[in-house]
Amino acid sequence: MGQDFEIKINNKLQSVQLLKEDGNILQLNVDGRKYEVDLISFENGIFSILHKNKSYNVELVEGETNKKFVVNTLYKSYDIEIIDAESRYLASRNLSKELTGNNIISSPMPGRIVRIPVVEKQEVVAGQTVVVVSAMKMESEYKSPKKGIIQHIHVKEGDVVTGHQPLVTIE
């Protein structure tokens, strides 16, 4: 007992501590705010939470790593990441930046590469289109966030890509 983690929600870091667990009744401390909730979970990441007799239905979807989640409440979707020793270690070695940093343009969702209007070693300016992805009858242009040189193109025209796959690295 006394388990605690740091949790990043929408890029804000919060410390969460489990004070007491009695069946499905939990007492927690979220950044100094005390909660007692009745929490049960179902299959498929569906949770029912009762807090002061108010009922919340919450859905949790696993993200790209096993420490990242998307949590949906009724009207709002949150990006949540568990920060523990491993994440801190990765962050300190700048590895996590390498994975998500803005010098790699990655696909936000699955699609097919329609066009790559740039070549490796080419100089690009901020806002210049570097790759065009088509998904579900809609084409989206991905633009360079900064001035730089195309270091590596990870895909070729016609490729089918999954979500969050690196497309172009800009140095």
Partner 1 sequence: MIKKILISNRGEIAVRIMRTCREMDIKSVAVFSDADRSSLHVRYAGEAFHIGASPSSESYLAMDKIINAAKKSGADAVHPGYGFLSESAEFAKKVRQAGLIFIGPSSHAISTMGDKIIARQTAIKSGVPVVPGTTSPVISENDVIKVASEIGYPIIIKASAGGGGKGMRLVKNIEELAESLRMAKSEAMAAFGDDSVYVEKYIESPHHIEFQLLADQHGNIIHLCERECSIQRRHQKVVEESPSPIISSKMRDEMGKAAVALAKSVDYEGAGTVEFLVDNKGNYFFLEMNTRLQVEHPITERVIGLDLVKEQIKIASGQKLAHKQEDIRQSGHAIECRVYAEDTENNFMPDAGKIKHITEPLGFGVRTDGYVYEGYEIPIYYDPMISKLIVWGRTRIDAINRMKRALYEYKITGVKTTIPFLERIMNEPDFVKGNYDTHFIQDNIDSLLPKSTDDNQLRQDIATITAFYHYYKRLERIKKISIVEKSHDYWRNYGRRKNSVRI
Site of interaction with partner 1 (CB under 8 A): 3, 5, 7, 9-10, 14, 16, 18, 26, 28, 30, 33, 35, 37, 39, 41, 44-47, 49, 51, 56-61, 66-67, 69, 71-78, 80, 82, 86, 108-112, 134-138, 140, 160, 163
Among residues 15, 9, 14, the alpha carbon closest in space to that of 79 is found at: 9
What is the closest distance, in whole angstroms, from the C-beta atom of residue 105 to partner 1 in the complex? 15
Whichever of 130 and 161 has its CB closer to partner 1, that residue is 161
What is the closest distance, in whole angstroms, from the C-beta atom of residue 169 to partner 1 in the complex? 22
Whichever of 119 and 136 has its CB closer to partner 1, that residue is 136
What is the closest distance, in whole angstroms, from the C-beta atom of residue 126 to partner 1 in the complex? 19
Whichever of 99 and 135 has its CB closer to partner 1, that residue is 135
Beta-carbon-side half-sphere exposure of residue 137 (alpha carbons within 13 Å) = 0
Whichever of 35 and 103 has its CB closer to partner 1, that residue is 35
DSSP the chain: ---EEEEEETTEEEEEEEEEEETTEEEEEETTEEEEEEEEE-GGGEEEEEETTEEEEEEEEE-SSTTEEEEE-SS-EEEEEEE-HHHHHHHHTTHHHHHH-TTEEE-SS-EEEEE----TT-EE-TT-EEEEEEETTEEEEEE-SSSEEEEEE---TT-EE-TT-EEEEE-
What is the closest distance, in whole angstroms, from the C-beta atom of residue 160 to partner 1 in the complex? 7
What is the closest distance, in whole angstroms, from the C-beta atom of residue 152 to partner 1 in the complex? 24
Whichever of 60 and 99 has its CB closer to partner 1, that residue is 60
